[in-house]
Amino acid sequence: AVWQPLPASAADQGQGQDTLATGAATEGTATGTTAPAATARKAGQPAEPDAPADTVTGSVPSEDPEAADMGRLNLRESPVQYAPERATPDDAEPPGIRLGTMTLRPAFSQRLGVESNRTGGDKQQRTFWETGLKGSLTSDWSRHQLTVTGEGYWQRNLSGDGATDPRANVDADLRLDLSESTTAHLRAGYGFSREDTNDPNAISGASVQSGIHHFTGDASVEHDFGRLRGTLGADVERWLYSDAELSDGTKVSLSERNRTAGTLRARLGYEISPALIPFVEASIGRVLYDEKTDSGGYARSADVYAAKAGITSDFGEKLRGELSLGYRIQDFDDSRLDDIAAVTVDGNIAWSPHRGTDVDLGLSTTIDPSTTAGVSGAVIYALDATVTHQLRSDLVARLSGGTAWTDYPSDAGVSDSVKYTAGAGLSYSLNRYVDLTADVGYEYTDRRSATDSETWNAMVGLTTKR
């Protein structure tokens, strides 16, 4: 059986012929040739008169671009207009220097500063140059990670007779990913600072105070037991004191203050959520002096016991850190020295209320051993805060403040003190490699039964980065 279409009515035939004629004319125009509009699509249909063709002169046909595209399968794509992207903070950072699988990011600074120091009725002023070197070295490994950070500053007086303030700090952290649930850390550090002239342990009348060398080492292993987090660690610290120099050139040895401290610690945490982990921690340690007794005949080596409870948080860029409350006691070998016992508050919090603004808060409690006969030492509670705000893509403002309370035993005969610090600064980026900086700072130390001290300083400089 052969299928035959039903005959169309006269009206339908006329309408269909008009449609075919229009399509044929369009196709002819698209290809640059004219086709008869009356060509029959089916046998038995009458032909219509030819559609008028456009007049063509020369060798290039007059075509409509939209009509020409109707017969193409792969049409031309119009250009895409991209909105300009905003620069991010990472875009402004220098790329660094590639060293195999490591990236080095050094920065060199040169600053000119003025400083005014007043202690009671004695006032000193100086103008100085400060040269600084700062950098970081970071690995780019698929497993494990090594991070090294360091900075050092050296000062030279151009005028005046104030004391210089050289300082340096280097820290290294090697993370070993032993398994999916076990991580180990090996850390080492070095720090150098000059003892403050106003410190109770400083040598009175010295033109150059002792330099303090501080070495640190740490090894720890962390393992996840489901929701439980266990950590075991061992810490070692070493303090070395250089000789102080008097105004007449005489040197005073402070080797009796050299000491080593070792600590074993254990921490257990419980994961309430990936962002909140409360924990408890206990530690036991020993402080051992190089010399069994100091110049006053006191044996200052001691046993140290500590415990604390706290919480760690990690909400990404918005909020992260750790806060703890505990108790620490240092039991001296010499029975004539009172034990130092104190409630400890420690923590560090990084908060970003909105993009471009960062707030860093630090809390610490430390025990500072004394060199005064019959005095065991002091407890220092410190609080510091820093706010950084990006005013523009190339302009950053900084505000800082802090306080430190040094608390001696009531019968120690040494004055307690409270130190207040404040600072402000601006950094303007000429480009990703050069910054202009300006900073001002203020420090005031209030002593209960001794002379107060006050320090102002201002610095401007240039920092180059790579």
> Can you spell out the DSSP letters for 136-164?
EEEE--SS-EEEEEEEEEEEEEEEE-PPP
Residues in the chain: 466
Domain boundaries, the chain: 1-52, 96-465
Q: What dihedral do alpha carbons 297, 303, 304, 305 form, nearest 10°?
A: -140
Q: What dihedral do alpha carbons 93, 95, 97, 99 form, nearest 10°?
A: 120
126 Cα distance to chain centroid? 33
Residue-wise pLDDT for 4-50, tens only, equals: 555 554 444 444 444 444 444 444 443 444 444 444 444 444 444 45
**392 token code pair:** 């523009």
pLDDT score, position 322: 96
SS3 209: coil
For residues 259 and 236, give the distance between their C-alpha atoms in angstroms, rounded to a whole number. 11
Quick one: which of 239, 235, 228, 152 has its CA closest to 188?
Answer: 235
Read off the amino acid at residue 3. W
pLDDT score, position 22: 43
Quick one: which of 85, 90, 107 has its CA closest to 355?
Answer: 90
| Tokens 């080596």, located at residue | 301
pLDDT score, position 44: 45
Quick one: which of 324, 301, 334, 330 has its CA closest to 409?
Answer: 330
Going from the first residue of the chain to its last (466 residues), give the mean pLDDT of each consecutive group of 10, the final group possibly shorter: 49 46 41 42 47 50 58 59 51 82 95 92 90 95 94 94 90 95 97 88 85 96 94 97 89 92 97 94 97 90 97 91 96 92 96 93 93 88 96 94 91 82 96 95 88 92 94
pLDDT score, position 59: 52
Write out the CATH class of domain 96-465. mainly beta
Sort strands 357-369 and 377-392 into parallel, antiparallel or unpaired. antiparallel
For residues 356 and 351, give the distance between their C-alpha atoms in angstroms, rounded to a whole number. 11
Read off the amino acid at residue 164. T
Contact indicator for 279, 309 with CB cutoff of 8 Å = yes
Q: Is 89 exposed, middle or buried (CB count within 10 Å of its CB: 0-12, 13-18, 19+)?
A: exposed
For residues 55 and 295, give the distance between their C-alpha atoms in angstroms, rounded to a whole number. 116
Q: What dihedral do alpha carbons 9, 10, 12, 14 form, nearest 10°?
A: 160
